[in-house]
Amino acid sequence: MQPAGIGATDGFASPAGCKIARQNGEKSDPMALERIAVTGGNGALGDAIVRDLMADHEVTSLDITPGRPGVRSRYVDVLSLDALKSALERQDAIVHVAALLQPHDPRDKMFQVNALGTWNVLEAARDLGIRKIVMMSSECASGVISLWRSPPPCPDYLPIDEAHPLRPREPYGVSKQVGEITAQSYARDGGIQIVALRPTLIVMPGMASYIERVRAIDDPDLWSYVELADVVRAARLALGYQGPPFDVFYLSARDTFSPEETLTFMRRKFGRLPELRQPGLYADNPYAAIWDLRRTQTLLGLEPQSDWRRILADGPQRRTADGRP
C-alpha cells in the first residue's frame, strides 16, 4: 500500500524543561492560532512542544498520563472519539504526538493507538472545524529503519527524500504510513491543512552515553539522529507553514554520528550503493545524513542545529532513553 507521492497531481508541494532558542529568520505562527492542543503532551517530546508553545499560545495537553506542573492538561484517550471531540472544542490547531513506540508494546495495541488514534484526531478536527494539524510521523515509515530491527530494504537512492517509496515491514512503521495516508485523505476532502513530520531517532537531553555506546556498534538505525530542540522548532514552524493541504518533511541532523563515512557503511550494510542523486553532498561531507533535508530547509524553514559532538562535549546528564518519535 503506497501513498501518493509528493507532486502536482496530488496538490502537494514539491521539491522537558527544554528551552528552545529561535533561529535567525524563523517566524512564529503567522496564522491566528490562539489555542493549541497537543496529544501525548505529557511525554518527553510532547511536553517540550507544549512548553515551547506556551510562550505565546494557550496550550492544552491531552494525555492518559498525569499532567506536568504548570501545564493545562486533560485526560483523553485518543481511542475515544467522543472524548477527543469534547477536549478539542474551541481549539484552533492540534499537534498530534500521542503514539505507542516501544518494541515491548503489544503489536495490535500499537497499531490501534497509532493508526486508529490518528483517524480519531483527524475526524474530531474535521467535525469541529479545526483547520490546522501537525502530526508526528517517523523515519520508520520509510522502511529503511525499523523499530523491530527487521532487515531493511536498500533505498532506491541517496539521499532519501519525501518522494521515496515507503516500504515499512513492522507495525510501528506501517502504523505511521497508515497515519499519513489517512491524513492525505482528510486533506483532499478540503477545509484542513496537515503537516506530517518524520523525525529520525530523537536525541533527548542526557543521551551522550547512548551516542558513545552506539558509535561502537553496528547500529541498525544507521546512526541517524535529530536533537529534541530541532523537533520542537519544526513543530512550531509546521504550525505556521502555509503550504498545500498536506505536506511531509524529514527531520534529521545534517550528518550521522557514525564513525564510518556514510557511503562506506551503506555499501557494507546493503552490499551495494544505491543511486547517488546528490554525489556532491557526500563529497563535501562524507558523513552527511542519508535523508534529503532540502525541502525541510527551504519550505519548512528549519536549519538543523543538531550536533552529536556538542552533545558528547556536554557529557552525560540525567536521562538516557530511546527518543524515537
How far, in Å, CA of 271 to CA of 285, rounded? 22
* Helical residues (DSSP H) of the chain, grouped into ranges: 44-53, 81-88, 107-111, 117-128, 171-189, 208-215, 228-240, 262-270, 279-284, 294-295, 308-314
Smallest CA-to-CA distance from 290 within 310, 307, 275 is with 275
User: Which whole-number Å values give the CA distances from 48 to 86, 114, 218, in the listed order?
Assistant: 24, 20, 30
Whether residue 295 contacts residue 7, with contact meaning beta carbons closer than 8 Å, is answered with no
Cell of 321: 532513553
154-164 core/surface letters (b: 16 or more CB in 10 A; e: else): ebeebbbbbeb
How far, in Å, CA of 52 to CA of 14, rounded? 29
How far, in Å, CA of 322 to CA of 325, rounded? 9
In whole angstroms, what separates CA 155 from the centre of its chain? Answer: 19
Cell of 184: 492525505
- Alpha carbon dihedral 72, 75, 79, 80, in 10-degree steps, equals -100
Whether residue 203 contacts residue 211, with contact meaning beta carbons closer than 8 Å, is answered with yes
> Which listed residue (172, 186, 225, 241) is catalytic?
172
How far, in Å, CA of 93 to CA of 35, rounded? 7
* Residue 172: active-site member: yes
Residue type (1 letter), 45: L
Whether residue 42 contacts residue 67, with contact meaning beta carbons closer than 8 Å, is answered with yes
How far, in Å, CA of 110 to CA of 191, rounded? 29
Smallest CA-to-CA distance from 38 within 235, 216, 323 is with 235
The residues that are catalytic are: 172
